[in-house]
């Protein structure tokens, strides 16, 4: 609470006097960059009361998700199309939903300074969750914008040793001039997350009643005598990433009479420079690794039998130069050349009295030293790419993209992608049909082929993976309906097998995904439903729930105060999350990754939250009870093997927005 008051006081010092109700749609314009850093994708500013109660990015952005239970712990979407298949295996991918990166950076153009302070709290003193989010952006000139976004999360969790401390900071800026444009995103992320290994028996949740969830035994322990908290096992992640794209436009200054030249010269050239630095440090600590070994979680202790202190250092430096020809609207075509360097460094110290026990392990690497391990590899890639986007008669949009790797670790890899979009309908209620297709040949990420730690060590000679995808999307804005279908055919798919070791499935793996979303509005009642159907032809390789469903239903009512002329907007409703039974993943702490298991079906359990949202001018407030149905039916509320979801809890949050 002190952090919230201090941050609020500091930011308010920069606000101009005067508080009036302002329509943000006319004051704040926001966008993100697409995957190729070409087009601007319109982004809604979060000032609405709808969905305000869903503060967790997992349940705000995904139809269905699997989680270890606590906010900020490793998680993954259960919907195959919602997963980012371009991420490298860096032992931190499962934390991505809670981190700040250029891909999720929003840029702004504001007529007035825009500030938003959000504070969320829930639980008791033993399991409290506290989130403070501070955001500020303003234009220094008509074309130059800067902004800051800071989030701090402290969550103790309902079960033993689930504590997560997450701090993330984003500085962003953009300039939209006639001759020179740029986008800049600088991000810092730090996460320290306990690892408890899950409950020692699922029956402690399903068949036993504990008055306090903190009393349920977990695999890993430690010291927890507040304020002293020292877990036996934890992950620590530090990340710095810097991204910038700069554009220099070459436009001729023509007089008003030069109409013929304007008609002939449809496209004008731009010279573009793209820079991206991404640096990770990941540390895994286990003060007593024999616990994981004796309970069958760890396959071995390879370097140090007394303690584990695995570290991974990774950085990627990317530079790209692009020649871009820009036309009216989104019409454009471009060609570019890119070069990137990558370095992986893994270190596992051995006990002072312990000799090298590694036998028959071979590495293709620049440097390796034993005993213990100091393992260092530097890679590079260079590639060319090209793409175009063309709009015909304001109703048809065609775009294509191609990439080919010339040299380096990924030499010979390629990507071909294209989409066709048809627009129909009236202005303000557009309908669209979108057809997509892609074909990609991709070398396995380096850590899938070379990895060393105290518990796992492997060298794999994997084939390249061939991804084929066909997708169709129909959006009917007038009916508030969206339907999408995807089909994937994947050759030489890489996954983590039942031993949590990378394995390649050489037979083609097919995935069918169908989804639909519909919003109903009747009187003061609104209901939004999303449903997804998925089918994979080998569940031992890729586990997905056949049915996933989400529904949010609310009654909205505005209370008018005649004496003061004030207006209070209220919403009361519920959120429902459900997925059918399937062999969900298990979790491996030393890898911070999910892997396949066929020990137990999970799912077929509904999660219901009830909420009350209130908005008074620019102040929003929510009060919600999460998992309100906890204990009403069976208690199989697991989404990851041996990791129960949270029981019933009450949370509240408020968000105050300034436009001055």
Output DSSP code: residue 354.
Answer: P
Better-scored residue on pLDDT, 178 or 276 = 276
Q: So what's the pLDDT on residue 563?
A: 65
Q: Strands 429-442 and 414-426, how do they pair?
A: antiparallel
Its pTM stands at 0.90
Q: Which residues contact 6 (CB under 8 A, 6 or more apart)?
A: none
Which of 616, 617, 632, 613 lies closest to 50 in space, CA to CA?
613
Output DSSP code: residue 25.
Answer: G
Which of 187, 179, 175, 170 lies closest to 139 in space, CA to CA?
175
Give residue for tokens 């996460």. Answer: 191
All domains of the chain, ordered by start, with CATH? 2-658 (2.40.170.20)
Query: What span, in angstroms and rounded, lies between the C-alpha atoms of 247 and 263?
Result: 24
Which of 40, 44, 82 lies closest to 61 in space, CA to CA?
82
Which of 148, 151, 155 lies closest to 167 in space, CA to CA?
151
Q: So what's the pLDDT on residue 375?
A: 61
Structure tokens at 334: 């471009």
- The average pLDDT across 602-612 equals 97
Which of 346, 353, 352 lies closest to 373 in space, CA to CA?
346
pLDDT (tens digit, 9 = 90+) per residue, 202-211? 999 999 888 8
Q: So what's the pLDDT on residue 7?
A: 44
Q: So what's the pLDDT on residue 234?
A: 97
> Average pLDDT, whole number, for the chain?
89
Q: How confident is the model at residue 267 (pLDDT cuts 50, 70, 90)?
A: confident
Q: What angle do CA 123, 129, 131 make, to 5 degrees?
A: 135
DSSP state string for 572-612: EEEEEEEE--B---EEEGGGTEEE---S--B----EEEEEE
Q: So what's the pLDDT on residue 356?
A: 47
Q: How far is CA 445 from CA 312, 449, 585, in A?
A: 15, 7, 21
- The average pLDDT across 112-129 equals 94
Q: So what's the pLDDT on residue 13?
A: 38
Q: How confident is the model at residue 5 (pLDDT cuts 50, 70, 90)?
A: very low
pLDDT (tens digit, 9 = 90+) per residue, 136-155? 999 999 999 999 999 999 99
pLDDT at 131 over 90: yes
Structure tokens at 628: 């309100």
Q: What angle do CA 400, 402, 408 make, to 5 degrees?
A: 165
């Amino acid at each position: 609470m002190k952090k919230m008051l201090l941050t609020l006081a500091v930011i308010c010092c920069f606000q101009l006097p005067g508080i009036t109700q302002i329509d943000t749609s006319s004051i704040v314009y926001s966008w993100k960059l697409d995957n190729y850093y070409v087009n601007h994708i319109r982004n809604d500013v979060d000032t609405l009361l709808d969905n305000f109660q869903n503060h967790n990015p997992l349940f705000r952005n995904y139809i269905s998700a699997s989680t270890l239970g606590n906010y900020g712990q490793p998680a993954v979407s259960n919907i195959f199309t919602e997963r980012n298949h371009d991420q490298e295996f860096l032992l931190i991918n499962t934390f991505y939903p809670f981190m700040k990166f250029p891909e999720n950076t929003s840029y702004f153009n504001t007529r007035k300074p825009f500030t938003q302070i959000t504070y969320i709290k829930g639980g008791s003193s033993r399991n409290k969750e506290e989130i403070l989010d501070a955001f500020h952006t303003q234009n220094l000139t008509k074309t130059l914008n800067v902004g800051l976004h800071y989030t701090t999360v402290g969550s103790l969790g309902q079960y033993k040793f689930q504590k997560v401390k997450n701090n993330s900071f984003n500085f962003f800026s953009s300039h939209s001039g006639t001759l020179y444009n740029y986008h800049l995103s600088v991000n810092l992320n730090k996460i320290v997350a306990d690892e408890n290994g899950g409950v020692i028996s699922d029956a402690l949740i399903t068949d036993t009643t504990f008055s306090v969830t903190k009393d349920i035994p977990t695999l890993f322990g430690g010291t927890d005598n507040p304020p002293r908290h020292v877990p036996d096992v934890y992950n620590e992640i530090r990340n710095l990433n810097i991204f910038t794209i700069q554009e220099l436009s070459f436009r001729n200054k023509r007089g008003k009479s030069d109409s013929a030249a304007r008609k002939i010269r449809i496209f004008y050239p731009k010279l573009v420079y793209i820079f991206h630095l991404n640096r990770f440090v990941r540390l895994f600590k286990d003060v007593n690794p024999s616990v994981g070994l004796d309970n069958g979680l760890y396959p071995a202790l390879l370097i140090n039998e007394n303690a584990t202190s695995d570290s991974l250092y990774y950085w990627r430096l990317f530079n790209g130069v692009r020649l871009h020809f820009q036309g009216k609207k989104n019409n454009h075509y471009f060609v570019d050349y890119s070069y990137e360097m990558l370095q992986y460094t893994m270190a596992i110290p051995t006990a002072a009295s312990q000799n090298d026990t590694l036998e028959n392990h071979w590495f293709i690497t620049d440097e390796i030293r034993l005993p213990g391990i100091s393992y260092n590899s530097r890679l590079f890639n260079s590639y060319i790419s090209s793409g175009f986007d063309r709009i015909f008669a304001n109703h048809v949009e065609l775009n294509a993209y191609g990439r080919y790797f010339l040299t380096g670790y990924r030499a010979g890899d390629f990507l071909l992608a294209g989409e066709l979009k048809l627009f129909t309908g009236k202005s303000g209620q557009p309908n669209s049909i979108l057809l997509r297709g892609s074909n990609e040949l991709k070398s396995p990420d380096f850590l899938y082929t070379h990895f060393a730690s105290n518990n796992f060590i492997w060298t794999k000679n994997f084939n390249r993976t061939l991804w084929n995808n066909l997708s169709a999307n129909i959006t009917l804005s007038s009916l508030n309906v969206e339907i999408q279908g995807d089909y994937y055919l994947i050759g030489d798919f890489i996954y983590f097998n039942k031993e949590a070791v990378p394995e390649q499935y050489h037979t083609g793996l097919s995935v069918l995904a169908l989804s639909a979303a519909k919003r109903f509005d009747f009187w003061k009642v609104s209901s939004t439903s999303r449903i997804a159907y998925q089918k994979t032809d080998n569940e031992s390789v890729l586990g997905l729930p056949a049915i996933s469903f989400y529904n949010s239903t609310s009654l909205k009512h505005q209370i008018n105060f005649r004496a003061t002329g004030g207006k209070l907007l209220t919403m009361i409703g519920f959120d429902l999350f459900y997925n059918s039974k399937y062999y969900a993943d298990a979790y491996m702490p030393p890898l911070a990754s999910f892997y396949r298991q066929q020990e137990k079906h999970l799912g077929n359990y509904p999660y219901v939250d009830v909420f009350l949202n209130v908005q008074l001018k620019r102040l929003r407030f929510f009060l919600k009870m999460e998992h309100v149905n906890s204990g009403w039916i069976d208690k199989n509320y697991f989404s990851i093997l041996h990791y129960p979801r949270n029981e019933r809890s009450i949370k509240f949050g408020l968000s105050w927005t300034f436009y001055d």
